């Protein structure tokens, strides 16, 4: 087994993307869906002093539903799969909701959006770990897209 942080060559990247049926346009759509969700979260979060964990769950659910409805308006339909919802909920809690003093640090949303953008930028994937993460998240969101 190779090291997960070892750089991949372009042939290996192409084979992995093809064998996992990764579509470039869908990858951009999943990136946009995720970035839109985070924008809603960042723009509507009331702050830690007003929001307990139960409120954070309600906030995420509201943002999730709003995001799905926004995409429906563009005739793009995401099914509300538990797997996509749960993955993004966990990701939001780990990268945003649980961070202290986030309201005073404007770099946090910028950094999170950069992470999401890099995750879905498969031409830039360089390592086994990066490829595995990308394919796993791509497949989770692919299951939720109504085709």
Rounded to whole angstroms, the Cα distance separating 19 from 52 reads: 43
pLDDT tens column, 110-125: 999 999 998 888 666 6
Query: So what's the pLDDT on residue 144?
Result: 93
Residue 1: pLDDT band with limits 50, 70, 90: very low
Q: How confident is the model at residue 107 (pLDDT cuts 50, 70, 90)?
A: very high
> What percentage of the chain has pLDDT greater than the value 70?
95
Query: What are the pLDDT digits (tens) for 44-69?
Result: 999 998 999 999 999 999 999 999 99
Predicted confidence at residue 111, as pLDDT, reads 95
Average pLDDT over residues 86-111: 93
Contact 35/116 with Cβ under 8 angstroms? yes
Are the beta carbons of 3 and 130 closer than 8 angstroms?
no
In the chain, where are the structural domains located?
10-144
- pTM more than 0.75: yes
Give the 3-state DSSP-derived string for 77-137, with helices as H, strands as E and coil as C. Answer: CECCCHHHHHHHHHHHHHHHHCCCCHHHCCHHHHHHHHHHHHHCCHHHCCEHHHHHHHHHH
Q: What is the pLDDT, as a whole number, of residue 76?
A: 96
């Amino acid at each position: 087994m190779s090291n997960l942080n070892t750089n991949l060559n372009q042939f290996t990247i192409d084979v992995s993307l093809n064998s996992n049926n990764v579509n470039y346009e869908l990858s951009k759509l999943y990136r946009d869906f995720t970035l839109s969700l985070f924008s809603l979260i960042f723009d509507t979060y009331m702050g830690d002093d007003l929001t307990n964990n139960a409120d954070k769950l309600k906030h995420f659910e509201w943002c999730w539903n709003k995001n799905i409805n926004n995409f429906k308006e563009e005739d793009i339909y995401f099914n509300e799969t538990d797997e996509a919802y749960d993955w993004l909920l966990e990701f939001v809690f780990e990268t945003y909701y649980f961070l202290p003093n986030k309201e005073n640090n404007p770099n946090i949303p910028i950094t999170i959006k950069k992470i999401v953008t890099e995750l879905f930028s498969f031409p830039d994937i360089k390592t086994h770990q990066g490829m595995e993460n990308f394919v796993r998240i791509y497949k989770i969101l692919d299951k939720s897209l109504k085709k």
